[in-house]
C-alpha cells in the first residue's frame, strides 16, 4: 500500500498523483497512488465475473466492451515494448466486471442506479456495479484512467473509486426544428454525452420552424411541415435507432412535443388545429397557438400522443407549454365567446390552463409522466403532483433560484436549465460561469432540495446546425455534466480547468470536435476531413 493511501479530500483533486487528475466528471471518492500497472492491448480483455448477473450476450455490456476497447487502443499507434527493455510494472490482462442486478434488455429510467466501484490494485482489476448502467459509467471512468508513458506503454495507476451521481437527471437538449440535425450528428452527440456521463437526451423534436418527426398516424405533419419531406425528417426507424443507440450508452430519450405555442409547423398538416388570428373582424390569414376551444383539437392530441407514447418508451414525455403568445387568441371572436362562456373573463392564462389540463389528462391516461416548462407552473395550471417542472428563465418572473424554491415548496420536482443555455455565446472562457452554478443554492428545506432531480444543458437551434454544434457544445456542456454528477464540494476552478483542458484533448482523440478552453495545444489536433 502506497504511503498516500488515504481517502483524499475532494478539494485536493488537482494534487493527485499520476494521470487520475484528468478524470471528468470527478468521481465521488477516489484513492490513487503512483504505483501502476501495464496493459498490453493484444492481451487485454474485458471479462464478466462468473457470478455477475450480466453475462456474455448482454448487449449493453458486450457492445460497451468493444467500444471501450476501440477507444482505448485502436486509434493509437501501438508498438510492443522492446524485449530488451525491462518491464518495471506488473501487468493487468483484464478488467473483470460484476453486475449485481440482472437486466440487460430494459431501458434506463429516472430511477436507474448508476453507482459503481472500481478497484485496481495488486490483486484486482475489478468493476462492481448494481446495474449495467453503473457498469457503463465505470467503464468510462476506467477508460479515462488509462494513460501512456512517453515510450508508448499503456498504464493504469493503482486506484480505488467509489462513484455515484449527485443528480439522477443529467440532460442535454438538442433542437431539431430550428435546424434539422442529421442522425449521425445526433449519434455523435450521444457518444460525447456518454463520455461526460450525461444520461438524458432531451429531444426538442418540433417547433414553429419545422416538423421533422414523421408521424404514422398523421403523415401530413411532416409532408407539409418539415423543411424537406424527403430528406429532413426522422422516420420511425430513425427514432428507434436513436433510442437504441442511446440505451446502449445508458441514456434516456425524453421527447418533447411543445404545445400550445411553438406549433406553427403543425398547422399546414392538420387543418383547423391552429387558431386563426383576426385583423379586426376578418381572419388575417395568419395563425396563432393551437386552438384550445375545439373538440377536434383534443381528438387530434389524443391520437397523436397515443402514437408518441408508444414510439418513445421512456416513462416521461416533455409537453412544453412555454411562451404562449395571447395576441392571436385575443383577436379571435370565437375564442372571445368561449372565454365568456367559461367565465374566464379576459384572463387568457385561464384559457392556457384549460388547454394544458385537458392535454395532461390525455397523456396521463397513457400511463406517462410528464415534464413541462416553468410557465405551466407560473400560470397556476393544476398539474399532477408527480409533474416535473423545468426552469429555464434566468430573471423573469423571478430569479431562477427563487423559481426553484417556489416549485419545490409547492411539492413539485424541478429540473434546472436557466443558467445553462449553451446557445448563448460570448467571448472568452464562459465554461467557468456554467461550472460554478450550484443547483441547490436556494432557500428551502432538505425535503425541497431533494425534489431537485437534476438539470439540463440546452442547445437551442436558431443559430446552430451540424456545422457548429459539436464545438459549441463541447467542452462547455462538460461543465454542466460535472456539476450534475460530482460532489457539491468539487468547485475548484483551477483543478477543473486543468482536468477539462486534458479531457477536451481526450475528446479530440476520440473524434469529438471539442473546442479549446484557452491557448494551448493537444498532442493530437482535430484534423479536418
Partner 1 sequence: MGPRGLGLLALLAALSPRSAAASGPALWPLPLSVRTTPRALHVSRENFSVSHDPASSAGPSCALLQEAFRRYHGYIFNLDKSQHGPAKRNSAVELKQLLVSVVLDSECDLYPNVTSDESYSLVVKAPVAFLKANRVWGALRGLETFSQLIYQDSYGTFTINECNIIDSPRFPHRGILIDTARHFLPIKSILKTLDAMAFNKFNVLHWHIVDDQSFPYQSVTFPELSNKGSYSLSHVYTPSDVHTVIEYARLRGIRVIPEFDSPGHTQSWGKGQKNLLTPCYNGHKQSETFGPINPILNSTYSFLSQLFKEVSAVFPDQFIHLGGDEVEFKCWESNPEIRDFMKWKGFGGDYKKLESFYVQKVLDIASTVNKGAIVWQEVFDDHVKLQPGTIVQVWKFQSYSEEQAQVTAAGFPVILSAPWYLDWISYGQDWKGYYKVDPLDFSGSPEQKKLVMGGEACLWGEYVDATNLTPRLWPRASAIGERLWSHSNVKDLEDAYNRLTVHRCRMVSRGIAAEPLYTGYCNH
Q: Contact region for partner 1 (CB under 8 A) — 149-157, 213-221, 322-330, 469-477?
A: 469-477
Choose, by CB under 8 A, the member of 81, 102, 313, 471 that binds partner 1.
Answer: 471
Site string for partner 1, 39-68 (x = CB under 8 A): ------------------------------
By the rule CB under 8 A, 151 interacts with partner 1: no
Q: Hey, which residues between 237 and 296 contact partner 1 (CB under 8 A)?
A: none
Residue with smaller CB distance to partner 1, 323 or 525: 525
Residue with smaller CB distance to partner 1, 51 or 518: 518
Distance of alpha carbon 208 from alpha carbon 213, whole angstroms: 13
Choose, by CB under 8 A, the member of 45, 105, 228, 346 that binds partner 1.
Answer: 228
SS3 446: helix
Which residues make beta-bridge pairs with 32?
A: 159
Give min distance, CB of 408 to partner 1, in A.
Answer: 30
C-alpha cell at 475: 467542452
Phi and psi angles of residue 411, each rounded to the nearest 5 degrees, phi first: 90, 10
Residue with cell 448477473: 53
Kindly give the pairing relationship between strand 274-279 and strand 282-290: antiparallel
By the rule CB under 8 A, 464 interacts with partner 1: yes
CA neighbor of 183 nearest in space, from 244, 249, 248: 244
Please tell me what DSSP assigns to residue 91.
Answer: B
CA neighbor of 197 nearest in space, from 26, 434, 396: 26
Site string for partner 1, 390-429 (x = CB under 8 A): ---------------------------------xxxxxxx
Kindly give the pairing relationship between strand 154-163 and strand 147-148: antiparallel
Residue with smaller CB distance to partner 1, 81 or 429: 429
Which residues are annotated as catalytic? 323
Residue with smaller CB distance to partner 1, 138 or 212: 212
The counts of H helices and E strands in the chain are 16, 17
Size of the residue set binding partner 1 (CB under 8 A): 41
Distance of alpha carbon 399 from alpha carbon 418, whole angstroms: 9
Q: Hey, which residues between 335 and 354 contact partner 1 (CB under 8 A)?
A: none
CA neighbor of 369 nearest in space, from 350, 387, 351, 385: 387
Choose, by CB under 8 A, the member of 36, 158, 170, 179 that binds partner 1.
Answer: 179
Distance of alpha carbon 263 from alpha carbon 458, whole angstroms: 19
C-alpha cell at 292: 384550445
Site string for partner 1, 196-225 (x = CB under 8 A): -------------xx---------------
Residues engaged in binding partner 1 (CB under 8 A): 178-180, 209-210, 227-228, 231-232, 423-429, 461-465, 467-468, 470-472, 508, 513-521, 523, 525-528
Amino acid at each position: 500500500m502506497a504511503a498516500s493511501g488515504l481517502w483524499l479530500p475532494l478539494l485536493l483533486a488537482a494534487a493527485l498523483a499520476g494521470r487520475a487528475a484528468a478524470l471528468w466528471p470527478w468521481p465521488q471518492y477516489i484513492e490513487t497512488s503512483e504505483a501502476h500497472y501495464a496493459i498490453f492491448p493484444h492481451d487485454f480483455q474485458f471479462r464478466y465475473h462468473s457470478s455477475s448477473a450480466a453475462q456474455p450476450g448482454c448487449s449493453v455490456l458486450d457492445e460497451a466492451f468493444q467500444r471501450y476497447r476501440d477507444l482505448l487502443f485502436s486509434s493509437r499507434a501501438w508498438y510492443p515494448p522492446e524485449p530488451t527493455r525491462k518491464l518495471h510494472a506488473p501487468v493487468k490482462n483484464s478488467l473483470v466486471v460484476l453486475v449485481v442486478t440482472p437486466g440487460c434488455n430494459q431501458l434506463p429510467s429516472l430511477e436507474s442506479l448508476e453507482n459503481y466501484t472500481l478497484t485496481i490494485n495488486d490483486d484486482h482489476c475489478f468493476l462492481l456495479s448494481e446495474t449495467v448502467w453503473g457498469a457503463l459509467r465505470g467503464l468510462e471512468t476506467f477508460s479515462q484512467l488509462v494513460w501512456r508513458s512517453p515510450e508508448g506503454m499503456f498504464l493504469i495507476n493503482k486506484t480505488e473509486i467509489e462513484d455515484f451521481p449527485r443528480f439522477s437527471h443529467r440532460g442535454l437538449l438538442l433542437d431539431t426544428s430550428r435546424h434539422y440535425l442529421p442522425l449521425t450528428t445526433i449519434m455523435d452527440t450521444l457518444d460525447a454525452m456518454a463520455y461526460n456521463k450525461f444520461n438524458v437526451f432531451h429531444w426538442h423534436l418540433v417547433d414553429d420552424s419545422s416538423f421533422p418527426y414523421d408521424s404514422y398516424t398523421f403523415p401530413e405533419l411532416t409532408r407539409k411541415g418539415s423543411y424537406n419531406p424527403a430528406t429532413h425528417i426522422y422516420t420511425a426507424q430513425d427514432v428507434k435507432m436513436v433510442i437504441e443507440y442511446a440505451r446502449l450508452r445508458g441514456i434516456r430519450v425524453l421527447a418533447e412535443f411543445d404545445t400550445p405555442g411553438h406549433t406553427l409547423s403543425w398547422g399546414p398538416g392538420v387543418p383547423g388545429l391552429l387558431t386563426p388570428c383576426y385583423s379586426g373582424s376578418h381572419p388575417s390569414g395568419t395563425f396563432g397557438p393551437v386552438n384550445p376551444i375545439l373538440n377536434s383539437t383534443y381528438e387530434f392530441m389524443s391520437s397523436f400522443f397515443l402514437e408518441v407514447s408508444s414510439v418513445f418508451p421512456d416513462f416521461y414525455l416533455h409537453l412544453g407549454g412555454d411562451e404562449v403568445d395571447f395576441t392571436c387568441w385575443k383577436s379571435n371572436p370565437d375564442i372571445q365567446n368561449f372565454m365568456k362562456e367559461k367565465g374566464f373573463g379576459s384572463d387568457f392564462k385561464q384559457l392556457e390552463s384549460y388547454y394544458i389540463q385537458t392535454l395532461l389528462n390525455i397523456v396521463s391516461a397513457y400511463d406517462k409522466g410528464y415534464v413541462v416548462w416553468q410557465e405551466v407552473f407560473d400560470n397556476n395550471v393544476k398539474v399532477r403532483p408527480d409533474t416535473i417542472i423545468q426552469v429555464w428563465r434566468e430573471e423573469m418572473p423571478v430569479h431562477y433560484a427563487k423559481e426553484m424554491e417556489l416549485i419545490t415548496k409547492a411539492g413539485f420536482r424541478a429540473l434546472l436549465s436557466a443558467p445553462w443555455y449553451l446557445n448563448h455565446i460570448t467571448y472568452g472562457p464562459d465554461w467557468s460561469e456554467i461550472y460554478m452554478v450550484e443547483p441547490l443554492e436556494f432557500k428551502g428545506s432538505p425535503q425541497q432540495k431533494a425534489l431537485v432531480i437534476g438539470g439540463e444543458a440546452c442547445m437551442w437551434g436558431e443559430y446552430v446546425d451540424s456545422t457548429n454544434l459539436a464545438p459549441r457544445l463541447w467542452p462547455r456542456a462538460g461543465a454542466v455534466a460535472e456539476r450534475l454528477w460530482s460532489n457539491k464540494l468539487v468547485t475548484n476552478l483551477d483543478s477543473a480547468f486543468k482536468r477539462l483542458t486534458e479531457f477536451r484533448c481526450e475528446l479530440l482523440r476520440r473524434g469529438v470536435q471539442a473546442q479549446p478552453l484557452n491557448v494551448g495545444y493537444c498532442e493530437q489536433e482535430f484534423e479536418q476531413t
